[in-house]
Amino acid sequence: MMNGHFASVGEEGTREQYEHGVQVVDEDKEFNPHISQYLALENVIPAGFNYHIISVFGSQSTGKSTLLNYLFGTQFGVMQENERRQTTKGIWMSKNKRPTTGADGKTTMAENILVMDVEGTDGRERGEDQDFERKSSLFALATSEVLMVNIWEHQVGLYQGANMGLLKTVFEVNLQLFLKDSKTIPRSLLFFVIRDHLGNTPLENLRATLLQDLSRLWSTISKPPGLENSKIDDYFDFAFVALPHKILQPQQFEQAVEKLSKRFVEGFKDPKKAGLVNDEDTGVFQPQYHRRIPADGFPVYAEGIWDQIEQNKDLDLPTQQELLAQFRCDEIAREVLIPFDETIAPLEEKQAAAKLVGEPIIIQNLGLTMNKARETVFKDFETNASRYHKGVYTRKRAELESKVDTRLKALFQGQLQAAHKSGLAAFGDAVSGAVKAGQKKGATYDFAQIVESEKKKALASFERTAQNVVVQGATWSDYKQELTLFKKELDESSKRLRRDEMKRLANRVERWVRSRLGESIGLEFNKLGTGRGGSGAPENGEKPASEKDLWDRIWHVFTDTVTQAEARFTERAKSFDASPDEVDVGLWRLRRKSWGVLSAKIDEEMMEGNLLLKLRENFEDKFRYDDAGVPRIWRPTDDIEGAYTKARESTLKLIPLLTRFRLGETGSPPPLDAWIGAAPPGVSPADEDDLAPIGGVDEDEGKSLEEETLVLSEAKATDLANRFRKMADGVFVEAKRGALGGVTQ
């Protein structure tokens, strides 16, 4: 699938177009940019290393093309018998067309054999153009595993023959290739095809003659410094075959070619151990001949090589291979990123869009998708790129990994952020929902348990989401830190929720205090209206007990009520796991607020009208009723003045008593400071926000306890006394009148 994409360089080629193979280099030494198209058409591109390149050399018109066409089923142009003109120009390439397996399913030939037909080199038409010969030799050597040298039998031993010139060139350029790095240059097989073998001279003899000539030739070539002592078989293996005359013995020729074709299989014998490759049973394709250029990189590599050759630059194969590796690895990386991008980019967009509107989303099956995409992208890259230069491949793989992982990591973290945010929200909702449901039922719901169970659910859900999005084999794909953070924020959220719950509880308890105090304090004040009080005898001049200890009773009722409220509060607060500190703060607030409630209630009772009414009731009670509680009927003889004065003075004594909140026992204000207590250590500014300052407790407020407990100002007390007197006078006058009237009547 992916390799198919590599092939689609330019327009699609057709079989007809490449009937004769593809011209790699034309007669103007231009490299053909469509090699990859041809190799794609021939399905060689995906072959990896499973392909072979053979080049054929030899004087022109020695039947090279003819041989290739027989041997590989190719259709290279051949010279027609009637016009003796060179047909093969430049370098042509064609894939072996013969079947690679026989009818019995056995391998008959190696797969993907690419044959290069190199222009004849007699220079009949190119004159003394040694340049092309050199260049095409260099090109063939740099790319081919097997170099077939086509030679007439009658030329064997003719040391001065044209073929020797060619071979000399081959040897020289070969040494040039070895200059840079002798370790990375593979060996080559020189396969001599002796044509028009008459049969008189056995192949053995021809072989011996040729080898002799070759070593003689080797000794004469100029060797670069450092390679002076190199031997020919340091670089080359040799093989030989003799073919009958194609025209005179066509049948024998074809049989021999048929037999020869069987040798184009993978060879497994190490020729170093086996000696020279002359064993007909040994395949010509030895692993050590292979140039190790992956098939999909061959077009680029070949072009680069030709480019260097064309520009007469030193051919540095290791560098070429590294450049190729860089080029191809980049290309492959781009290719494998396409399907990755198709999968990942929409998710990235989705996540970014959701984030933009502040509502991060959890993408379903994100982990599965990411794992698959990551695995695929690396696997595809490895499959295609790992055949290239190891160092380059490793580097490019790291680059790709970082590119891929940067994006996946962002998705991963986005997902965790979404899980974090939605998890916290869901937790808060769930807790308040459960509280509301509990309130509806009216029962005392267990807040702590609600929080605990919702927290567990939230953590489990977060972990599920996180676990799902873990990318296998990615070191960054760890959510421990995020989980810890989530847990921490859950705790903080629980604390906030508990504080809210505490506030609700505090409000409830406060309301309860208010209603209780409203009732009980009102009652205490109402007692003022009963001037006789319990059993107290007004004669002894003492105030009735109910009047004298008004404040003691109020303080008692108040502290009693608050103590009960505190007990309620403490019990509830503990039930939802409030810390002792939190409870202390709640109680402290409750006491302060309760004091506020009491203050307000007292103020209400002290409102002028209310107070005057109470004084009047108190006075009238004393004036109009006798000690037994029987209403008096005034007679003119009665000491109305005396009773009036006594009752009035008794009631007037209440006013100074009322002006200040004093406890009878100590004669001092209630111990508010000690009773409220110091602010507990856990108190926060927020806790103090809605608290009114209390004199004598909050020293900074500049208000003393005396002032805090001053119920009625001096002026108001005087005013109240005056109004009371007038009111009492009225009652007196009325009584007096009533007494007189009663007599007259």
> Which residues here bind Mg ion, judged by CB under 5 A?
65, 88
DSSP lists the bridge partners of residue 52 as 113
Q: What does the H/E/C string look like for 171-183?
A: HHHHHHHHCCCCC
Binding status of residue 246 toward ligand GDP by CB under 6 A: yes
Position among 23, 55, 65, 320 found at the interface with ligand GDP (CB under 6 A):
65
Our finding on whether 83 is near ligand GDP (CB under 6 A) is no
320 binds, among Mg ion, ligand GDP, none (CB under 5 to 8 A by kind): none
* Tokens encoding 405: 């992982």
By a kind-dependent CB cut-off of 5 to 8 A, residue 695 interacts, out of ligand GDP, Mg ion, none, with none
Amino acid letter, residue 340:
F
Nearest to 569 by CA among 502, 511, 519, 514: 502
Q: Which does 245 bind (CB under 5 to 8 A by kind): Mg ion, ligand GDP, none?
A: ligand GDP
Query: Quick one: 150 or 422, whose CB is closer to Mg ion?
Result: 150
By the rule CB under 6 A, 561 interacts with ligand GDP? no
Give whichever of 68 and 643 is closer to ligand GDP, judged by the CB atom: 68
With CB under 6 A as the contact rule, which of the stretches 41-49, 54-62, 262-270, 368-376 interacts with ligand GDP?
54-62
Phi-psi category of 565—alpha, beta or left, where left has phi over 0 and alpha has psi -120 to 50?
alpha
55 makes contact, choosing from ligand GDP, Mg ion, none, with CB < 5 to 8 Å by partner type, with none
Listed ranges 241-249, 265-273, 453-461, 724-732: which one lies at the site for ligand GDP (CB under 6 A): 241-249
Instruction: Check binding of 61 to ligand GDP (CB under 6 A).
Output: yes
Instruction: Identify whether the C-beta of residue 415 lies closer than 8 Å to the C-beta of residue 363.
Output: yes
CB under 5 to 8 A by kind: which of ligand GDP, Mg ion, none does 61 bind?
A: ligand GDP
Residue pointed to by tokens 């994006």:
407
Q: Are 248 and 195 in contact (CB under 8 A)?
A: no
Using the rule CB under 6 A, give the single segment among 64-72, 301-309, 465-473, 572-580 that binds ligand GDP.
64-72
The CA distance from 106 to 317, in Å, is: 36
Task: For residue 116, give the H/E element and its range.
Answer: strand 113-118
Q: Encoding tokens for residue 391?
A: 């160092």
Q: Do 278 and 263 meet the contact criterion of CB atoms below 8 Å apart?
A: no
Question: Tokens in use for 724?
Answer: 């009371």
Among 33, 101, 234, 247, binds ligand GDP (CB under 6 A): 247
Alpha-carbon radius of gyration of the chain: 57
Is residue 517 within 8 A of residue 601, CB to CB? The reply is yes
CB-based contacts of 44: which residues, under 8 Å, 6+ apart? 51, 95, 112, 114, 295
Sites for ligand GDP among residues 646-685 (CB under 6 A): none
Smallest distance, Å, CB 21 to ligand GDP? 13
Give me the least distance between CB of 68 and ligand GDP, in Å please: 8
- Which partner in ligand GDP, Mg ion, none is near 246 (CB below 5 to 8 A by kind)? ligand GDP
Q: Indicate the residue among 164 and 562 with the shorter CB distance to ligand GDP.
A: 164
Choose which of 20, 29, 75, 79 interacts with ligand GDP (CB under 6 A): 79
| Cβ 291 to ligand GDP shortest distance, Å | 25
Residue-level length of the chain: 745
Closest approach of Mg ion to the CB of residue 475, in Å: 59
Answer for which of 42, 122, 153, 196 binds ligand GDP (CB under 6 A) is 196
Count of residues that interact with ligand GDP, criterion CB under 6 A: 18
Quote the tokens at residue 622. Answer: 């004393």
Nearer to ligand GDP, 61 or 494 (CB): 61
Side-by-side strand order, sheet with 22-25:
22-25, 91-95, 113-118, 52-58, 146-152, 188-195, 236-242
List, in sequence order, every residue forming a beta bridge with 239; answer none if it has no partner: 191
Binding ligand GDP (rule: CB under 6 A), the pick from 245, 660, 723, 736 is 245
Q: Is 64 in the site for ligand GDP (CB under 6 A)?
A: yes
In the complex with Mg ion, the residue whose CB is nearer, 80 or 160, is 80
Q: 282 vs 73, 95, 233, 274, 588, CA distance in Å?
A: 22, 22, 18, 10, 101
242 vs 466 by CB, closer to ligand GDP: 242
Does 437 bind ligand GDP (CB under 6 A)? Our answer is: no
- When asked if residue 66 is in the footprint of ligand GDP (CB under 6 A), the reply is yes
Q: Which of 504, 494, 488, 512 is nearest to 577 (CA)?
A: 494
Please report whether residue 586 would count as binding ligand GDP according to CB under 6 A: no
75 binds ligand GDP (CB under 6 A): no
Confirm or reject binding of residue 55 to ligand GDP (CB under 6 A): no
Contact between 252 and ligand GDP per CB under 6 A: no
**From the CB of 196, what's the least distance to Mg ion, in Å?**
16
CA max distance for the chain: 187
CB of 144: closest distance to ligand GDP in angstroms?
Answer: 17
The helix (run of H) or strand (run of E) holding residue 188 is: strand 188-195
- In the complex with Mg ion, the residue whose CB is nearer, 91 or 435, is 91
Per the CB < 8 A criterion, the answer to whether 6 and 43 are in contact is no
C-alpha of 36 from chain center: 39
Cβ distance to ligand GDP smaller for residue 19 or 234: 19
Query: Which one of Mg ion, ligand GDP, none is in contact with 483 (Cβ closer than 5 to 8 A by kind)?
Result: none
Residue 529 DSSP code = G
Measure the CA angle with vertex 74, ends 70 and 77; round to 5°: 95
CB 468 within 8 A of CB 367: yes
Q: Is 21 in the site for ligand GDP (CB under 6 A)?
A: no
Position 396: which residue type?
K
Closest CA to 735 of 618, 723, 727, 527: 727
Beta bridge partners of 31: 25
Shortest distance (Å) from residue 80 CB to ligand GDP: 7
CA 720 centroid distance within chain: 78
**In the complex, least distance from residue 65 CB atom to Mg ion, rounded to whole angstroms:** 3
Determine which helix (DSSP H) or strand (DSSP E) holds 57, and give its type and residue range. strand 52-58
Binding partner of 66, given ligand GDP, Mg ion, none, CB within 5-8 angstroms per partner class? ligand GDP
Work out which of 11, 81, 83, 539 binds ligand GDP, going by CB under 6 A: 81
Assign 22 to helix, strand or coil.
strand
Question: Where does this chain touch ligand GDP (CB under 6 A) — which range of 79-87, 123-131, 290-298, 524-532?
Answer: 79-87
Q: Please report, as residue ranges, which positions from 120 to 179 form the binding site for ligand GDP (by CB under 6 A).
A: 120
Distance in Å, CB of 85 to ligand GDP, minimum: 9
Q: Rounded CA gap, 619 and 520, in Å?
A: 23
Q: Which window, 78-86, 336-344, 569-577, 730-738, contacts ligand GDP (CB under 6 A)? A: 78-86
According to the binding rule CB under 6 A, does residue 34 interact with ligand GDP?
no
Cβ-based nearer residue to Mg ion, 192 or 236: 192
Nearest in space to 10 (alpha carbons), one of 43, 26, 32, 42: 32
* Interface positions with ligand GDP (CB under 6 A): 60-66, 78-79, 81, 87-88, 120, 195-196, 245-247
